[in-house]
């Protein structure tokens, strides 16, 4: 432990460098069982950002089952979906997965040589994509979602439920892929088969809705021909979001719907546990799941108001018993096998890890990607989840991470600089968990406030819909309310406030810098900046009509599109900023960033624009994350007058 001494905020020496933060970026995803074994995917920032497939053997060892460059990740709807599945055949694992580089489905059996392709290469670059595979050994098929591009434009696409032969006969023959029913909707999730195999259930929706606006829960009969017939809608609609559906062991249809204003669970239409809590979330990736029925009739659930706990719901009594442990947040991926439940949990002092709950004894333990302190945990921040007051008295939820160091305090009277973090989505939520990227700043004496502004999930549909028609207003106001409240109460230095965010958070950052005078600088990461062009033709299909709910229909409120866009108000941008952009980003393409830069050209605004080849929407490579993090710290050091220890490469701010 270091000797306690006074040193100005922002200059405290920290063992958490950018390389360490980058090495711990990301979390395990897509947990599942292959027989009795638990498998999942895991990030590898040092290996070009690939997602490795990992298994936990019966002996308790973890092993990466496919070497580089195999990358288990789907590009369906660009954000992806569940990319793998597994079963046991003749006593040995059989795994089917999507490989990121070519988006083909592959079949692999340990000890059976290299993975073998099951689907063909598309004539359109990366234009045959697959998600939510499920193996049916009886039929010798893999049922999944097929996303098929029919042209070079992002809107030239169709999505259907499909069956891929497991014998590889479709590896070079698109015609050998069987479509389970004609195309009916723009978006579909993977089919769930009833226990008797006679019915299938899935979700569907169409433009301009997003899945958290309204979806339909569809059920069809599985015919003798293996196709789906007699499709009917059993729940959902334009203003009801069904986020997940599953069959119970006795053949009842379970689903999560927000018809009450909260995503609650229903069984054949009857509520199971009506609460003002969320038992589901936004379907940003196909195959996310928040509940899983066990064979004994109980249901594993991820639920809560804000923070999401792992629990077991008894549908007969409506009672939920939560798992005990250091995990205060669980992600949207869980699986069950017998009386075992696996999920991904994290906490303020525990990074994301694979957690197994034995429902017989109620014991939960980390079994995979276990958290290990990379540095003395005395350097971790001690966050507080708070509720602030926004315009009109509305509640604004945020997590505040004060500067913290075991051996340093600031001189008497000095207030710390603070950076407001605006999350992406914007329909999302940031959890209060250990993040070494946050600790990178707080351990140096820079505070962080993560804001779950109006529009965030986890607090009911009404909170989520505060952003309807108000993007660029409510999010900006809520972030400002938190920043100013921290300054007014003496927590933060009013003259040293910054804002940063990526994607939709990049939009909020840019809109805050062009629309308020609160922040001394900002970091804008792969942003949306020009509403008039961010839509059909420039961004991907999934979000191409998103602005109709966030802003309003373009034909009806064209002036709003111009008025809200940071590119329109580039003349108001005077604060120094850092702009970070992946050159392979098809969601927020570089053209968005370049328009903002054109608008400030010659105006003397200090700024830096860093681009990264091979990076898309969301940085995944360790070297990219190191460069970006050090550049961000350098920006704050220059603007706030800080002297980081150790020093970081100076970011050249041009004008």
pLDDT digits (tens, 9 = 90+) for 334-372: 999 999 999 999 999 999 999 999 998 889 999 999 999
pLDDT at residue 250 in the model: 96
Contact between residue 122 and residue 75 where contact means Cβ atoms under 8 Å apart: no
CA dist., res. 514 & res. 519, Å (int):
10
pLDDT at 3: 66
Reported as a single tens digit per residue, the pLDDT across 585-607 is 999 999 999 999 999 999 999 99
Per-residue pLDDT reduced to its tens digit, 441-487: 999 999 999 999 999 999 999 999 999 999 999 999 999 999 999 99
d(CA 154, CA 186): 13
* Beta-sheet strand order (sheet of 62-64): 29-34, 37-44, 50-56, 62-64
Burial of 228 (0-12, 13-18, 19+ CB in 10 A): buried
Q: How confident is the model at residue 262 (pLDDT cuts 50, 70, 90)?
A: very high
Residue 537 has pLDDT above 80, yes or no: yes
Q: What's the pLDDT at 403?
A: 98
Average pLDDT over every residue of 157-164: 97
The neighbour count for residue 95, using CB atoms within 10 Å, is 24
| Tens digits of residue pLDDT in 423-445 | 999 999 999 999 999 999 999 99
Three-state SS at 253: strand
pLDDT value of residue 126: 72
The SS3 call for residue 421 is strand
Q: Which domains does the chain have, with CATH numbers?
A: 5-17+375-640 (3.40.50.1820), 32-288 (2.120.10.30)
The mean of the pLDDT values for the chain is: 96
Lowest mean pLDDT among 51-60, 455-464, 604-613: 51-60
> How does pLDDT run across 540-567, given as a tens digit for each residue?
999 999 999 999 999 999 999 999 999 9
How far is Cα 498 from Cα 519, in angstroms, rounded to an integer? 5
Q: Average of pLDDT values for 8-15? A: 97
1 pLDDT tier (thresholds 50, 70, 90): very low
Angle at 381 between CA 376 and CA 384, to 5 degrees: 150
Please enumerate in sequence order all residues whose Cβ is within 8 A of that of 537, keeping only pairs 6 or more positions apart, or say none.
Answer: 153, 154, 155, 544
Percent of the chain with pLDDT over 90: 95
Q: Which of 1-5, 293-297, 444-448, 627-631 has the lowest mean pLDDT?
A: 1-5
- Encode pLDDT of 567-581 as tens digits: 999 999 999 999 999
Confidence at 215, pLDDT banded by 50, 70, 90 = very high
Q: Check residue 58 and give its pLDDT.
A: 81
Q: How far apart are CA 450 and CA 424, in angstroms?
A: 11
SS3 track for 291-345: EEECCCCCEEEEEECCCCEEEEEECCCCEEEECCCCCCEEEEEEEEECCEEEEEE
pLDDT tens digits, 290-305: 999 999 999 999 999 9
Q: Beta 521-527 vs 497-503: how paired, if at all?
A: parallel
Please check the confidence at residue 112 and state whether its pLDDT lies above 90. no
CB 356 within 8 A of CB 334: no
361 contacts: CB under 8 Å, gap ≥ 6: none
**Is 2 a residue whose pLDDT tops 70?**
no
């Amino acid at each position: 432990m270091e000797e306690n001494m006074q040193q100005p905020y922002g200059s405290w020496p920290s063992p958490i460098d950018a390389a360490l933060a980058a090495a711990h970026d990301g979390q395990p995803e897509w947990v599942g069982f292959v027989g009795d074994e638990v498998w999942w995917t895991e990030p590898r920032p040092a290996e070009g950002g690939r997602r490795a497939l990992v298994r936990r053997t019966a002996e308790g060892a973890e092993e990466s089952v496919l070497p580089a460059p195999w990358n288990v990740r789907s590009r369906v709807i660009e954000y992806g979906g569940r990319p793998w599945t597994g079963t046991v055949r003749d006593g040995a694992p059989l795994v089917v997965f999507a490989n990121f580089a070519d988006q083909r489905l592959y079949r692999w059996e340990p000890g059976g040589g290299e993975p073998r392709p099951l689907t063909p290469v598309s004539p359109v670059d990366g234009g045959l994509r697959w998600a939510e595979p499920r193996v049916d050994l009886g039929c010798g098929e893999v049922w999944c979602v097929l996303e098929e591009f029919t042209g070079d434009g992002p809107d030239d696409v169709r999505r259907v439920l499909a069956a891929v032969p497991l014998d590889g006969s479709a590896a070079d023959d698109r015609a050998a892929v069987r479509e389970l029913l004609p195309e009916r909707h723009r978006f579909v999730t993977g089919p769930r088969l009833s226990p008797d195999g006679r019915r299938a259930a899935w979700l569907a929706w169409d433009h301009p809705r997003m899945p958290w606006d309204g979806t339909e829960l569809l059920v069809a009969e599985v015919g003798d021909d293996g196709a789906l017939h007699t499709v009917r809608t059993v729940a959902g609609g334009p203003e009801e979001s069904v986020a997940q559906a599953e069959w119970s062991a006795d053949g009842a249809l379970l689903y999560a719907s927000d018809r009450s204003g909260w995503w609650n669970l229903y069984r054949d239409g009857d509520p199971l546990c009506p609460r003002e809590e969320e038992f589901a979330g936004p379907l940003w990736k196909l195959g996310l799941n928040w509940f899983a029925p066990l064979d004994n009739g109980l249901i594993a659930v991820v639920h809560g108001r804000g923070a999401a706990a792992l629990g077991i719901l008894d549908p007969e009594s409506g009672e939920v018993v939560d798992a005990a442990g250091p995990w205060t947040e669980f992600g949207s991926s869980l699986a069950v096998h017998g009386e075992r439940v696996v999920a991904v949990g994290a906490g303020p002092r525990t990074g994301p890890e694979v957690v197994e709950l034995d429902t017989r004894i109620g014991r939960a333990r980390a079994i995979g990607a276990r958290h290990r302190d990379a540095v003395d945990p005395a350097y971790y921040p001690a966050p507080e989840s708070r509720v602030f007051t926004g315009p009109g008295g509305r509640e604004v939820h945020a997590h505040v991470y004060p500067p913290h160091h075991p051996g340093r305090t600031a001189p008497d009277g000095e207030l710390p600089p603070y950076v407001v973090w605006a999350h992406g989505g914007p329909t999302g939520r940031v959890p209060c968990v250990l993040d070494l990227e946050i600790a990178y700043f707080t351990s140096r004496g820079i505070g962080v406030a993560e804001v779950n502004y109006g529009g965030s999930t986890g607090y009911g549909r009404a909170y989520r819909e505060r952003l309807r028609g108000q993007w660029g207003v409510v999010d900006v106001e809520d972030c400002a309310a938190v920043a100013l409240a921290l300054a007014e109460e003496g927590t933060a230095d009013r003259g040293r406030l910054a804002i940063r965010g990526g994607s939709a958070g990049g939009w909020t950052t840019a809109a805050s810098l062009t629309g308020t005078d609160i922040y001394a600088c900002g970091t804008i990461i792969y942003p949306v900046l020009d509403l008039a062009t961010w839509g059909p033709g420039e961004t991907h299909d999934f979000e191409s009509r998103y602005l109709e709910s966030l802003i309003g229909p373009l034909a009806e409120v064209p002036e709003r599109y111009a008025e809200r866009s940071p590119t329109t108000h580039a003349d108001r941008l005077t604060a120094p900023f850092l702009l970070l952009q992946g050159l392979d980003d098809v969601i927020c393409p570089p053209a968005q960033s370049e328009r903002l830069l054109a608008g400030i050209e010659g105006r003397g605004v200090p700024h830096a624009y860093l681009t990264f080849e091979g990076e898309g929407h969301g940085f995944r490579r360790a070297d990219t994350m190191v460069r970006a993090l050090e550049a961000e710290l350098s920006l704050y050091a220059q603007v706030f007058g800080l002297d980081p220890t150790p020093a970081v490469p100076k970011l050249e701010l041009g004008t």
